Amino acid sequence: MAAELNIKYVVDSIEGNSLSTTITGPDHGWVEYCNNRGQLFYADAVSEDFYKTCHQHVIDIITKHAVEDNKKNLGFINHLSNILINDEFVFPMFGEVSVSNPELKITTGLTRLVASIMNGRTAHELKTVAFAPKGQTVSQLQNVKPLTSTANFEKIYNLADIDYEISMSDGVAGDMSEFQFDRSVLKYSIYDKKDQALPHTQVGSNISNFWGRHIKKDKVHLNVRCTPEVEKLLQPSKMFTWDVIHEKADEWQWSYGKILGAYRKTEVPLGYDESQIHLWLYDATEPVYVDLLLPWMTGQYTCCHTKNKKALFFDTSTDVTSMQVVGDWVK
């Protein structure tokens, strides 16, 4: 079957006028289109330096959404993060480098990236597809391989018999100088909407309301318990402040009795500035970024702990509830 080119011009007073071209036929997929103008690569890991860049970008995204009270995107982050606790994403992240900027820029799958970091995924667990101009490679990827065809892409990511959409854009010249990935979605899924985040606005509103009750002097204040060694791993935060009570390493371990005891009411009234939310850290060995906790808490539960039981967060200002398991934002 020969390839067929269809050209369509649409006049639309609301959406604007547009000229579009569609090519149908074998060997005319999106990978072939990109590889005729450059080279696509794929990898299951990124470099440690790029991972640090991604990690900071995730903190910045969460902080920005929190400061702007962006409820729908906070809710969407919570939704995808909860999925990743027990499942894996089908699609990788998508990004590109350019002639003028060899630094990889992730432009599609950013919320998947945020969810991955919130679940403690490492540099060796970030699946990525990237476009590079001819003659360039993508130094930020590890064990990088060329993506040879659309069929090759569908085999690698187990997309046989799955409908999906990958959207890209470029400048009018079409020389890939302004190329970027815009959207990647499984068709006919719950994510196949013009605004993927909108259905999760209520969850985001719950997150905002929960933390809003605990803001004192523009920040959320925590009572932290951990060993002196773990305290050194706590990283500066724009959203949180904390006081630390030190525990002895040989005595500090997970205890349901201590957790329940923390909910025990006292006859002495608490002062206005006395925080009633607590973060207990156990055996952490990597830097602790408290901002990653923020999108996990919706207020449905007063207590949550990471799957690896290295972090326990609870709120004693309300009655005790069952515990919610969240992703390993502390390692």
Count of structural domains within the chain? 2
Quick: pLDDT tens for 27-51. Answer: 779 999 999 999 999 999 999 999 9
Q: Give, for 142, the enclosing helix (H) or strand (E).
A: strand 141-142
Same-domain pairing of 242 and 194: no
Is residue 2 domain-resident?
Answer: no
Check residue 288 and give its pLDDT: 98
Same domain, 78 and 227: no
DSSP assignment of 220-244, as one string? EEEEEEE-HHHHTTBPP-SSEEEEE
225 and 191 part of one domain: no
Query: Has this prediction a pTM greater than 0.85?
Result: yes
C-alpha span between 329 and 323 (Å, rounded): 16
Interval 49-64: pLDDT, tens: 999 999 999 999 999 9
Q: Per residue in 84-100, pLDDT tens?
A: 999 999 999 999 999 88
Extract the tokens encoding 23: 């090519």
Residues counted in the chain? 331
Domain for residue 15, yes or no? no
Residues 274-286 pLDDT 10s: 568 999 999 999 9
Q: Which of the four pLDDT bands, split at 50, 70 and 90, describes residue 317? A: confident
**Phi, psi torsion values for 300, nearest 5 degrees:** -70, -35
Does the residue 249 lie in any domain?
yes
Residues 315, 167, single domain; the answer is no
Residues 164 and 253 placed together within one structural domain of the fold: no
How high is the pLDDT of residue 33?
92
Kind and range of the H or E run holding 82: helix 71-86
Residue 97, domain member (yes or no): yes
Domain boundary among 178, 200, 222: 200
Please state, as a whole number, how many other Cβ atoms lie within 10 Å of the Cβ of residue 285.
11
Q: Domain range for residue 318?
A: 213-326
What is the reported pLDDT for 268? 45
Q: What is the mean pLDDT of the chain?
A: 90
CA distance 214 to 26: 58
Rounded Cα gap, residues 126 and 138, in angstroms: 15
Same domain, 52 and 158: yes
Residues 165, 29 contacting (CB under 8 angstroms): no
Whether residue 117 lies inside any domain: the answer is yes
Give SS3 for 103.
Answer: coil
Establish if 309 belongs to a structural domain. yes
CB count, 10 Å around CB of 168? 19
318 shares its domain with 246: yes
Q: Which of 177, 200, 223 is the last residue of a domain?
A: 200
One domain, residues 160 and 305: no
User: Would you say residue 23 lies in a domain?
Assistant: no
Same domain, 109 and 239: no
State whether 195 and 66 are in the same domain: yes
**Residue where a domain terminates, one of 174, 200, 226:** 200
**What is the rounded distance in angstroms from the CA atom of residue 331 to the CA atom of residue 328?**
6
Q: Quick one: tokens of 129?
A: 């597809």
* Residue 2: predicted pLDDT: 55
The residue assigned the tokens 């060993």 is 227
Both 166 and 76 in one domain: the answer is: yes
Backbone angles phi, psi at 55, to 5 degrees: -60, -45
Identify the DSSP state of 288: B
Q: Are residues 59 and 193 in the same domain?
A: yes
